[in-house]
Amino acid sequence: MGYSNLANPGNYQQAAFGQKGFEYLASGNVSGNFNAVQVIADATVTVVASNGDNLTNVDLPAGMTIVGRFTSVSISSGKVLAYIA
């Protein structure tokens, strides 16, 4: 499934409430189109952004959510949910 333009209200609503689904990561990586990464257990995360800066081996605490347009999410420790865009 390709990236959905969030300027469309229907796409935005689905993405905002996670209705497009998510990928659960406890190790490894996943590629695709993601609009948010929610940390559910303290994690060391690497994300590749379509726009803006990438994050490489950044420690994030549980409960934090980062938003953007990501094409790859990987973790070396912890647990995250990568929400599909």
What tokens does 9 get?
């209200």
Beta strands in 1-85 (DSSP E): 22-25, 28-49, 55-60, 65-84
Whole-angstrom CA distances from 20 to 4, 23, 43, 65 are: 10, 10, 23, 17
pTM for the full predicted model: 0.83
Domains in the chain (CATH in brackets) are: 9-84 (2.60.120)
Of 29 and 9, which is predicted with more confidence? 29
Q: Can you tell me the mean pLDDT for 23-52?
A: 94
30 pLDDT more than 90: yes
Instruction: Label residue 20 by pLDDT band (50, 70, 90).
Output: confident
